[in-house]
């Protein structure tokens, strides 16, 4: 059995090595390292796949969020609503732009932003909502969009963990996450569902004017070469990464299916363990399992983590410290500061290995190791 990892980018690469190596060699031969043909091809291919008019590639997912916010002409002090239970990048760029992150609570079952909490947090200074499609499942976008429309707010979807996920509206319409709000942002960090072999990111929008502005911002505010109309930044997707992503985009559906298969196996195995709550699937969303995250009850989580580690099984706590408890936000006194669901989850979540290369032996070993742990627990009680 291969050693078990949270993600196995190495074996994934070995399975597509010839194709990837050739694509890399082509870029090396072309020496078009910046804005080469594969960058254009990739953004076109990704637009087609997602069903969105405009895809602007950039250097990473954090930049994607930052550029999205820069494009909306937000002013210092404007309030941006975002969940506390997320990766830090989402809230960090808000603060970096001198905007005010207003944290809100998440739903205990889906881990995603609570629409009721969003509604409660809106003030006259609120300008945007940044929902996060956490762990591969969509935030409740229909409700979020309804709130945004009623209050005239922008919506920036943080789609870094859910590329390929389908959102199902109540009328049956299906849209890919990242294409529903004003702007969508994603990351191609190597461990993401669509991962490059280095950093990468992209921004999505259906609005042509906004797309042009985003494009300018990502390229030093340039309208044509050496003419800089607005202050921007330098955020590009390398040609090498685009060439690799072009290959991996064709496999994304297959990759997401492989993740779902692992998740289904886990679900069945854990159904009989009362201390384990398997990931809840929201009715309105597909789940592409960027993470397979359990919520444990009546369990010594550290002891279980150690038990797994003793059997060479990695596991992770995403996230051990919610954004509202991070030191960097000590001086932001805005809105609510009490998030019982977020704190409750922070103490109980545990993410298990889930990736595209997992085989049945590995999943079986993980589930039986966990089942044995809980069996022995009840014997000793």
Ligand X SMILES: *Cc1c(COP(=O)(O)O)cnc(C)c1O
Binding region for ligand X (CB under 6 A): 60-62, 86-87, 89-90, 132, 158, 160-161, 187, 189, 199, 201
Smallest separation (angstroms) from ligand X to the CB of 199: 6
Mark residue 271 as left, alpha or beta (left: phi above 0; alpha: psi -120 to 50; beta: remaining): alpha
Smallest separation (angstroms) from ligand X to the CB of 161: 5
Which has the closest alpha carbon to 72: 211, 220, 222? 211
Nearer to ligand X, 37 or 314 (CB): 314
CA distances from residue 182 to 56, 142, 375 in whole angstroms, order as listed:
14, 13, 49
Q: Which residue is nearest to ligand X, using beta carbons?
A: 61
Smallest separation (angstroms) from ligand X to the CB of 159: 8
Nearer to ligand X, 85 or 265 (CB): 85
Which has the closest alpha carbon to 232: 67, 21, 377, 18? 67
Smallest separation (angstroms) from ligand X to the CB of 130: 9
Nearer to ligand X, 195 or 270 (CB): 195
Between CA 43 and CA 49 the distance in angstroms is 10
Smallest separation (angstroms) from ligand X to the CB of 65: 6
Between CA 132 and CA 94 the distance in angstroms is 14
Cis amide prior to 262 (ω within 30 degrees): no
Nearer to ligand X, 204 or 265 (CB): 204
What is the token pair recorded at 245? 């992503």
Smallest separation (angstroms) from ligand X to the CB of 89: 4
Yes or no: say if 155 and 181 are a contact pair by the CB < 8 Å rule. yes
Between CA 203 and CA 159 the distance in angstroms is 10
Nearer to ligand X, 241 or 299 (CB): 241
For residue 229, count other CB atoms closer than 10 A to its CB: 12
Nearer to ligand X, 245 or 276 (CB): 245
Nearer to ligand X, 7 or 370 (CB): 7
Smallest separation (angstroms) from ligand X to the CB of 358: 20
Between CA 4 and CA 195 the distance in angstroms is 19
Yes or no: say if 140 and 282 are a contact pair by the CB < 8 Å rule. yes
């Amino acid at each position: 059995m291969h050693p078990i990892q949270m993600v196995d980018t190495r074996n994934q690469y070995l399975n597509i090595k010839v194709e990837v190596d050739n694509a890399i060699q082509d870029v090396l031969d072309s020496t078009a390292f910046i804005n080469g043909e594969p960058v254009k091809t990739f953004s076109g291919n990704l637009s087609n796949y997602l069903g969105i008019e405009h895809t602007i590639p950039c250097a990473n997912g954090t930049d994607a969020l930052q550029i999205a916010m820069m494009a909306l002409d937000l002013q210092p002090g404007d309030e941006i609503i975002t969940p506390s239970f997320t990766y830090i990048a989402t809230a960090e760029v808000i603060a970096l732009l001198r905007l005010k992150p207003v944290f809100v609570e998440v739903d205990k079952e889906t881990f995603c932003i609570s629409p009721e909490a969003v509604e409660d947090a809106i003030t006259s200074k609120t300008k945007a909502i940044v929902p996060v499609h956490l762990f591969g499942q969509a935030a409740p976008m229909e409700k979020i969009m309804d709130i945004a429309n009623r209050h005239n707010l922008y919506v920036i979807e943080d789609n870094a963990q859910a590329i390929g996920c389908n959102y199902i509206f109540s009328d049956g319409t299906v849209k890919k996450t990242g294409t529903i709000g004003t702007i969508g942002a994603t990351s191609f960090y190597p461990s993401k569902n669509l991962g490059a072999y280095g950093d990468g990111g992209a921004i999505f929008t259906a609005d042509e004017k906004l797309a042009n502005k985003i494009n300018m911002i990502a390229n030093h505010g340039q309208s044509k070469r050496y003419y800089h109309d607005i202050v921007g930044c330098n955020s590009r997707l390398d040609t090498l990464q685009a060439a690799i992503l072009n290959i991996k985009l064709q496999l994304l559906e297959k990759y997401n299916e492989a993740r779902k298969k692992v998740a289904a196996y886990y679900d069945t195995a854990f159904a009989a363990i009362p201390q384990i709550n398997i990931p809840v699937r929201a009715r309105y969303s597909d789940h592409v399992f960027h993470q397979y995250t359990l919520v444990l009850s009546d369990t010594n989580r550290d002891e279980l983590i150690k038990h797994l580690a003793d059997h060479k099984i990695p596991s992770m706590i995403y996230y051990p410290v919610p954004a509202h408890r991070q030191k960097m936000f000590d001086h932001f006194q805005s809105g609510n500061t009490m998030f019982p669901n977020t704190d409750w989850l922070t103490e109980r979540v545990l993410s298990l290995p889930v990736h595209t290369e997992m085989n049945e032996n590995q999943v079986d070993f993980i589930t039986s190791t966990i089942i044995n742990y809980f069996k022995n627990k009840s014997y000793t009680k």
